[in-house]
Amino acid sequence: MSDTQSHGLLFSHLLYPFVDIFCFYSYGPSDLTKIARWIATWPSQNGPLWKPSLMVLLREKHLLQPNAAAVAERLFTSTITALTSNPLDFYFTDSWFLPATDSSSSAPIEAGFHEHLAVVRQRRRESGLLLSVEHTNALFERAFESAGTLYHQPIDLIRSARRDIPVSTELADHLVQFMSHIPSPEDLISFASPIIASSLFCDHYLPDMHYLVVRIRPPTAGHSILCIDGGGVRGIIPPAILGQVQQQLDLPIPVQEFFTLAYGVSAGALVKLAKSAFRPSSTASLPGVNWIRAILSDSLYSETDIEIALKSVFGEKAFTEVAYAQRIGAKIGIPAATIKQPSSLCLFTNYNSSRQGTRGYTVLAAAENIKTWEVYFRAKYLAGLGTFQDAGVLANNPLSIALAEFAATNGNAQPDLVLNVGTGTSPNAPLRDEESNFITDSWILRLKRAYMSLMQGRRIWDDVTSTDINAGRNCGRYRLDLTISNPPAIDDTTSMPALVSMVYRDDILLGALPEIAYHLFATLFYFELTALPQKSVSQAGHGLNDPQEQQPLVIKLGDLK
C-alpha cells in the first residue's frame, strides 16, 4: 500500500467520524489540484453517519486574481467530479474557501474559523452526534486499535461501543419487562427511551452522557404518501416534477421529507443508471440479431452494467438500512412480481408490515436481508425468496399498494395528502368508423396495444379514485403527469432531455402546483393537546332547523376548554 493510500485510509476511515472541519492551506492552483486529487483517492463511503466540513485557506497566487474564492471553488469541485464522478458534497457537508492575506495578524482567520466551527457543532448537536469528551476519547482509542481493519470498512462507532459488552440473548425479554413498568406516554419519551438507547450503547445510563433526542411522530400528526409510476427512462419525469414542486414550496426542506410513505416502480429515473442499463450490445447494428439474442438470454440488455451502477449508488447495505430513509422516518416500498403462473405482486419494504393476509399481494418479511440494489431491473433470483421481475408488468402504478399499506397501519384514518407522479400518459385515440386492417390491426399488435395500455399508471389512478368513497370530496389526492402523444421507448436514453423540457413547458401541470404546495405546507402543522380536555358548564346554543319552521331549536352544548 502506498503512502498516499495509507493517508487516504487514515483520514477517510479513521478520522472521518471525529473531525468537525478539515482545513487546508493552498498557495496556488497547483496546490488546490493536489488536495483535490488526494481527496479523490479516499475510499467511498455509502451513507456515512457523519460528514465533516471543508475549509480551504487561499494565499499568495490565489490572491492575485479577482473573486479568488469563487474561482478556487470551481477548480476544486470540477477536479473532484472529473476524477470520481462524485460532487464535492459526497465527501463534505459544506465547504468554505477563504482568502487569507499575508498580514501578520491571524485574528480574522481565527474569527472565521470559530464562526464556522460553531455552525458545524450545532449540526452535530442536531444530529445527536455531539459526544462527550469521555466518549470521544474512548471511541478514538478503539478506532486506533482497529486500524488494521479499516481497509475493508470505516470505523463503526456503535460496534466499537459494544465491542467488550456483547448484546444479551435475552434482550427482547428484558425490554418487554422494562416497558411493562412505564405508566404513561410522558415517561416513555422522557425516561424510558433515553434509558433504552443508552443501554444499547453502554448497558446503563452514564453520568454526564450527551443528551439523547428520541424522534417519535406525534399521534395527531398526519401522513402524506408519494407514489411514483414506472417507465424506464421516462422515470426522469418524476424527479423533474418533484423539483418543480420543491421550487413552488420555496422552503429549505427537501420535498421528499414531506412524505412519510413512498412507493415506486423500476429504476429508470437516474440518468447514470439508465445510460448504464440500456447500453447497446456490439451486435446492435445487425438487424434481427438482437431479438434472437434477447430470446436466448431472456433479456434485451445485460444485467452486469446496471448492477455495477446500482452497487455504486447503494453499496452493500440491506434494504432496511437505507440511512436517509431512516433519518427522516420514511417508510419505503418497492413492488416486484413473481415469474410463476399466475404472476403475483410482492412488496419489499424497509419496515415491518401487518395484516398481510387481507391484501392482494405479499409483503416479504425476509427483505431485510436483501441488498438495496438487488430489488431493481431484470428478473433476479434472491436466495431464500425466489425469482422476481419488475412489478411494472402487473402494476406500473403502486397507488393501490400504498393505500392498502396505509390502511393496514392506520385503520380507517385518511392520509393528509396522496401525490401520484406519472411518467407520461398517451391520450386516448378517438373512435373511428372504419374496419380493422389485416396488417396494422393484427392480433399481435392488438395484444401489444392492450398490454401497453394496461401498463399506463393513469388507468390504476382512475380505478382507485372511481371506487373510493372519498373520491368526491377534497381529500387531498393529486396526480401530476404529462400527456405524451408519441411516448419514447423505455430504453431510449436520448429522449431524456426532451422529457425534462416538457415538464417545464406543461401549463396544466404547472398550474396544479400551487394548490399541492399549499397542501404540503399545511401538512407541516398538527394540533397537540397540552392537557386533557375537561367538560365545562353547559350552555344553551341555537341551531338552525328547517327554514319552514318558525322557532329555532334550543340545544344543550357541552363546551370543551
Determine if residue 467 is left, alpha or beta; phi over 0 gives left, psi from -120 to 50 gives alpha, anything else beta: alpha
Name residue 134's amino acid.
E
List 26, 53, 224, 390, catalytic entry: 390
Look-up of cell digits 403475483: 344
| Contact indicator for 487, 424 with CB cutoff of 8 Å | yes
Nearest to 327 by CA among 554, 128, 165: 128
Helix (H) or strand (E) holding 198: helix 193-202
Look-up of cell digits 399545511: 522
Rounded-to-integer distance, Cα 358 and Cα 361, Å? 9
Look up 390 and say whether it is catalytic: yes
- Which residue(s) pair with 138 in the sheet? none
| Contact indicator for 417, 224 with CB cutoff of 8 Å | yes
Rounded-to-integer distance, Cα 206 and Cα 74, Å? 46
Nearest to 491 by CA among 290, 215, 254: 290
What are the residue ranges of helices labelled H in 415-470? 443-454, 457-467
Q: What angle do CA 250, 253, 255 make, to 5 degrees?
A: 85
Q: Which cell numbers in the block locate residue 495?
A: 429522449
List 12, 266, 276, 400, catalytic entry: 266
Rounded-to-integer distance, Cα 76 and Cα 24, Å? 12
- Omega of the bond leading into 219 within 30 degrees of 0 (cis): no
Q: How far from 53 is each of 19, 36, 121, 123, CA to CA, in Å?
A: 8, 14, 10, 11
Rounded-to-integer distance, Cα 96 and Cα 57, Å? 8
Catalogue the active-site residues.
Answer: 266, 390
